[in-house]
């Protein structure tokens, strides 16, 4: 029998077998996994560029993505320029120089650090390492949605616990993890989207109480904006916790996508089995290394963040709104009404080319979230927020 006839018969048999599948199958469709077919066609965030394409205008104040409007270290900019001519080469697959600099910065061994494509990339690889269809993951309802996006993408089962007094609830997370045999427990400290934080003492107590067989995913993306005493000491050999850090926030390198994780050496070594070994580009590594080495610039940005958090709180108060305490580079502002009102206010601000975001889960959706930014953008916020509120009356 000619091979094309043999292939045609096999193909017909396969299509007959597929006819029993619950979802329709097109002859031209790739064979997506059942998990992926069941997922909604959504993404965690709509980026500011998408909004600008829809409106046809640029944002005058970009205060929604928690980037650093104060910019990266001038030394990082110089490193980017110097490395530009080397862009034809892949980045070091081991990120050797950056890993060792991070190790020295934290006073630990490089074997406890993995560098990746931002925290988002590292979270995706971590979930890929540990979560199979049906495995349980515990998180907070309304916490960072990209983590959930990864979990559901690999078929994990999410258990979401409510916040308590605008904070993620460590005790409730631990209890649910114990009840369900969860493999992962996610907690961000400081928290996104509320800006709240727990003390190092509470976080260490949580680490000490992690159930057998579970791993605490401690997302510390905003730790550089937090007060002293927020982060517990790093004990790199502790197998119960993996800590996530980033250069996207106060280091001002969100566009470079560089993050890193700190964990016990055996867990870090497992990443090599599944990660994209050339995922962090040459220019990105050079920029992050230069930024890390310029701690005075980080202190400069921290001072600006602290000042602008106060200014956002003052602007909110002037307009009858209430700013929640923040340990991040943004301020969550309670609008004093319901989610519909907050969404309407966000829409009015966006119509005035002020980009802000808001929490997505009730009752947090009574708030809007405003990133700190340069004084000019704060001046625009001060001018345009009253107009947006007036438009809703």
The model's confidence at residue 269, banded by pLDDT at 50, 70 and 90, is: very high
The answer to whether the CB of 216 falls within 8 A of the CB of 240 is yes
DSSP 111-140: GGEEEESHHHHHHHHHHHHH--TT-EEEEE
The model's confidence at residue 25, banded by pLDDT at 50, 70 and 90, is: low
* Domain(s) of CATH 3.40.640.10: residues in the chain: 74-293
Q: Each residue of 65-112: pLDDT tens digit? A: 999 999 999 999 999 999 999 999 999 999 999 999 999 999 999 999
DSSP 298-339: HHHHHHHHHHHHHHHHHHHHHTT-EEPP-SSSEEEEE-SS-H
The answer to whether the CB of 224 falls within 8 A of the CB of 249 is yes
* Domain(s) of CATH 3.90.1150.10: residues in the chain: 48-68+296-391
Distance CA 118, CA 111 (A): 19
The answer to whether the CB of 251 falls within 8 A of the CB of 221 is no
Distance CA 256, CA 291 (A): 12
> What is the pTM (predicted TM-score) of this model?
0.91
Check whether 28 has a pLDDT greater than 90: no
Check whether 14 has a pLDDT greater than 90: no
Provide the 10 A C-beta neighbour count for residue 165: 7
Residues 6+ apart with CB under 8 A from 242: 126, 215, 216, 217, 218, 261, 262, 263, 267
**Smallest Cα–Cα separation from 269: which of 289, 239, 292?**
239
Domain spanning 74-293, CATH architecture: 3-Layer(aba) Sandwich (3.40)
Would you identify the CATH topology of the domain 48-68+296-391? Answer: 3.90.1150
Q: Each residue of 326-352: pLDDT tens digit? A: 999 999 999 999 999 999 999 999 999
Give Rg (Cα) of the chain.
23
Please give the structure tokens belonging to residue 50.
Answer: 């998408």
CA 35 from centre of chain: 23
Predicted confidence at residue 16, as pLDDT, reads 40
DSSP 11-59: HHHHHHHHTTSSS---TTS----HHHHHS-S--S---HHHHHHHHTS--
Q: Each residue of 229-262: pLDDT tens digit? A: 999 999 999 999 999 999 999 999 999 999 999 9
**Smallest Cα–Cα separation from 143: which of 116, 162, 170?**
162
């Amino acid at each position: 029998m000619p091979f094309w006839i043999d292939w045609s018969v096999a193909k017909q048999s396969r299509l007959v077998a597929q006819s029993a599948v619950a979802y329709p199958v097109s002859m031209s469709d790739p064979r997506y996994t059942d998990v992926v077919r069941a997922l909604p066609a959504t993404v965690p965030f709509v980026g500011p560029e998408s909004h600008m394409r829809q409106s046809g205008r640029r944002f005058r104040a970009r205060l929604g993505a928690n980037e650093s409007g104060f910019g990266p270290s001038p030394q990082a900019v110089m490193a980017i320029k110097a490395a530009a001519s080397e862009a034809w080469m892949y980045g070091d697959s081991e990120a050797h120089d950056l890993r060792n600099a991070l190790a020295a910065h934290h006073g630990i061994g490089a074997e406890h650090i993995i560098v990746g494509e931002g925290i988002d990339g590292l979270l995706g690889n971590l979930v890929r390492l540990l979560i199979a269809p049906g495995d349980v993951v515990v998180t907070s309802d309304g916490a960072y949605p990209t983590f959930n996006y990864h979990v559901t993408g690999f078929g994990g089962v999410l258990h979401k616990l409510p916040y308590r007094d605008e904070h993620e609830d460590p005790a409730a997370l631990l209890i649910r993890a114990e009840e369900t045999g969860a493999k992962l427990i996610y907690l961000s400290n400081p928290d996104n989207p509320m800006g709240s934080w727990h003390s190092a003492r509470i976080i260490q107590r949580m680490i000490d109480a992690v159930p057998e067989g579970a791993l605490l995913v401690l997302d510390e993306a905003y730790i550089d904006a937090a007060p002293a005493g927020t982060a517990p000491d790093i004990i790199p050999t502790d197998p119960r916790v993996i800590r996530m850090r980033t250069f996207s926030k106060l280091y001002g390198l969100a566009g470079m996508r560089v993050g890193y994780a700190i964990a016990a050496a055996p867990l870090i070594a497992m990443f090599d089995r599944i990660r994209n070994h050339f995922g962090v580009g040459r220019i990105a590594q050079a920029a992050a290394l230069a930024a890390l080495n310029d701690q005075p610039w980080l202190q400069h940005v921290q001072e600006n963040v602290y000042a602008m958090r106060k200014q956002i709180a003052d602007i909110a108060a002037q307009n009858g709104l209430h700013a929640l305490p923040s340990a991040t580079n943004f301020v969550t502002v309670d609008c004093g009404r319901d989610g519909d009102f907050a969404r309407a206010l966000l829409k009015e601000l966006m119509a005035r080319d002020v980009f802000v975001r808001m929490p997505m889960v009730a009752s947090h959706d009574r708030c809007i979230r405003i990133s700190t930014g340069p004084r000019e953008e704060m001046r625009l916020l001060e001018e345009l927020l009253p107009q947006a509120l007036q438009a809703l009356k």
